[in-house]
Structure 1
Amino acid sequence: MTICAYATFDDADSDDELQPVLAAWREAGIEGRAERWDDPAADWSAYDAVIVRSVWDYIFRREEFLAWARRVESVTRLLNPHAVLEANTDKTYLRDLGVPVVPTHWSSDGLPDWPEYVVKPTVSGGARDTTRTADREEARVLAAALEAAGRTPMVQPYLDMVESEGETSLLYFNGRFSHAVRRNPMLAPGMTMADNARAHLRPPAPDQVELAEKVLAAVPHALLYARIDLVRLPDGAPVVMEVELTEPYLFLGHDQGAAARFAGALRELL
C-alpha cells in the first residue's frame, strides 16, 4: 500500500478539500494521512511521498517552511518539489516568467500614473497586507512602508476587468488540464473572503489555455498540481496574475471528477 502525507497546518479543519482528497486517494489505492507540516514529531521518512497542500501559514515564516521542505525532500518524495516551492513563494517570480503578466512596479520610487493601484508584498496570501487605492501618494507610502519592513513591494494597476470579465483560474494535474473556474474579485467593493471563495466552472478560451501552457512549459520540474490565475487587460489580452504552485485551493468541489483526476495524477507520479 502506498502511503502519502497530506501536509496541512494547525487549522486543518478550515481546509474543505482535505477529506475529499483523502477519499479520492483511497479509491486510487493510496493511503493518505493529514500531517501538520511543522509538527516536530512527524516522521516524513515513513511516507512514500509528502504532498504539500494547505500550508497556509507559511507566509509568516517562509524560511522555516522552505527549510522544512528541504529536509523532507532529503528523506522522501516531495510534491511539489522544494525548488518549485522556493521560487513560487516569492512573487518576484513574475519577473522571470517570460510571458505577459499584469503590469508590476517593484519599488516605491517612480510609480506609474495609473487610475488605481494595488499594493502588496511579494510574500503574502489571501490578500493579506494588500491595499487598493486611487491615491498615488498613498500607494507610494504603502510601498515604502513595506520596504522599510524589509519586504519587497509590488505595485500593480487595479484592472476593472476582474469585475466585469472576472479572474479565470486554470487547474492542471501532472501537466494535464483538469478544469477552470471564474473567481470573484477579492478587492471589489463589499467583497468578503467568503465571496472570493465562491466560483463557478468556466471553460477557458483558447488564448487562455495557450498562455497557461506556456507557463507550465517553462517549469523544469514535474508538478503534481498547478493553478494558473489569469485576467484580461482592457485590450482583451490575457495576462498572468499568479502562478500557484505551493498551496493553491484547487476548487475540487466545482467539478465532479476533479478529485479523482488529482488522485490519478498522484498515482502516475508515484
Structure 2
Amino acid sequence: MTTLVALVTEDRYTATEAAAGDWYLQNILDEDRLLSEALARLDLSSMRVSWSDPSVDWSQFRCAVIRSTWDYFDRFDEFQAWLDRVQQATQVCNPPATLDWNMDKHYLADLEQRGVRIVPSRFIERETSVQLAALLDETGWQQAVVKPCISGGARHTYRVDASNAREIDAVLAPLLEHESFLLQPFKQSIVEQGEDTLMMFGGRYTHAVRKRAKPGDFRVQDDHGGTVELYAPTPEQIELAHEAMAACDELPVYGRVDMVQDAEGHAAVMELELVEPELWLRLHPPAAVVMAEEIARWLEQ
C-alpha cells in the first residue's frame, strides 16, 4: 500500500507519541489514528505531515487533508502561499475554494443571504474606526462578543458591554489596521447550556458534542478550560446543519456546524468550520469510518 493521503498538521504536533500528561497532543494523535485506520481499511494509506515542512514532496500524495493546522491564522499569508503551491502538486481537501471562503467569517453573510439562520452579525471592516458602545446602542445588544474575521482558538475574542466598550475599542484600534472583526450578540445560552456542534461528512450527520465554558468564562475551547461531551441534537439542529452545508458552493467533504439558541429559541449558526475543525472522532469512532468513506468518494470523483 503506497502513501496516498497526507494528514496535514503543523510543526507543534508532528510527534508520533505524546509526553506523559500532554492530553492536547494525545487527542490530536488519537483523532488522526482513527482516521488513518479507517482509510487503511479502504486501501488508502496515510502519513501525518506539517504544512510548513519544506522537505515534504507534496506530489507524492494523492491528496492532502487539512487536519490540525492550528497556527494558520497566526501565519495567514504564509499559509495562503503554501495553499497556492500545494494545490499545484496534489488535491486539497476540503477544496481550496471552500477553504478560502471559510477562512474569513464574512461567509456568514453569504449563508444568511442563502436562507440559513445565523446568529446576527455585524462586520467591523479593516482600516475603519469603531465605537463599540455606539454599535451596541444601534443593535440593541446589551452584551456582545467581538472577534477577528480570520481567527481561531478564541484569539482576540472579547465579551463587550457598555462598561468595557471603550477599553475594547482601544484594543481593537491597532488590530483594525490589519484585519476585520465580527460583532455578534452575546448568547446567555452559551453560559447556561453550552455551544452545540454537529459533525457533517459529505452532507451526512454523524454525531454532535456540547461544549461548555468553565465557570466564570464564556470561551468554550478546551484551551481555556472548557469541557466537551457527546450530545443528542434536536431534529431542528440536524436540519439546520444540513441546510448550512448545502448552502456552500460545493458540498464539503468534512466540517462542523457550531450553533446556539437565538432569542426566539431556535437554533442559529454561530460558525461553520470547514478548514481545520476538531471533529471529536475519539468520542464517536464510527464517524472516522464515514469521514474516510467520504474522502475516498471525493477522490473517485
Above 0.5 in TM-score? yes
| Residues in 1 aligned to 2:218 and 2:264: alpha-carbon distance in whole angstroms | 27
Please give the residue correspondences for 1:92-171 in structure 2 after superposition, counting only pairs within 5 Å.
Answer: 92-98=106-112, 99-107=116-124, 108-109=130-131, 110-113=134-137, 114-134=141-161, 135=163, 136-148=165-177, 150-171=178-199
- Would you identify which runs of 4 or more consecutive aligned residues in structure 1 move more than 4 Å? none
Q: Of residues 239, 257, 276 in structure 2, which corresponds to 1:228?
A: 257
Unaligned runs of 5+ in 2: 16-24, 125-129
| Residues in 1 aligned to 2:72 and 2:262: alpha-carbon distance in whole angstroms | 31
Q: CA deviation at 1:267?
A: 1.8
| Residues in 2 aligned to 1:235 and 1:165: alpha-carbon distance in whole angstroms | 15
Residue 60 of structure 1 corresponds to: 74
Q: CA deviation at 1:27?
A: 2.4
Asked if the contact 1:127/1:186 (under 8 Å) is kept, the reply is: no
Count how many residue pairs are aligned between Structure 1 and Structure 2.
268
Asked if the contact 1:117/1:155 (under 8 Å) is kept, the reply is: yes
Tell me the amino acid that sits aligned with residue 112 of structure 1: L
| Residues in 1 aligned to 2:109 and 2:41: alpha-carbon distance in whole angstroms | 40
| Residues in 2 aligned to 1:269 and 1:121: alpha-carbon distance in whole angstroms | 32
| Residues in 2 aligned to 1:190 and 1:147: alpha-carbon distance in whole angstroms | 23
Q: CA deviation at 1:167?
A: 1.0
Q: CA deviation at 1:151?
A: 1.3
Tell me the amino acid that sits aligned with residue 104 of structure 1: S
The sequence identity of aligned pairs, in percent, is 36
Tell me the amino acid that sits aligned with residue 276 of structure 2: E
Q: Does residue 1:242 correspond to 2:271, yes or no?
A: yes
Asked if the contact 1:8/1:53 (under 8 Å) is kept, the reply is: yes
Q: For 1:196-219, what per-residue CA distance to the aligned partner results, in whole angstroms no more than 9, with x for missing partners?
A: 2x3222222122122221111111
Q: CA deviation at 1:166?
A: 1.8
Q: Does residue 1:4 correspond to 2:5, yes or no?
A: yes
Structure 2 length as normaliser, TM-score?
0.82
Q: Of residues 50, 60, 73 in structure 1, which corresponds to 2:64?
A: 50
Cα 1:84/1:187, change in 2 over 3 Å: farther
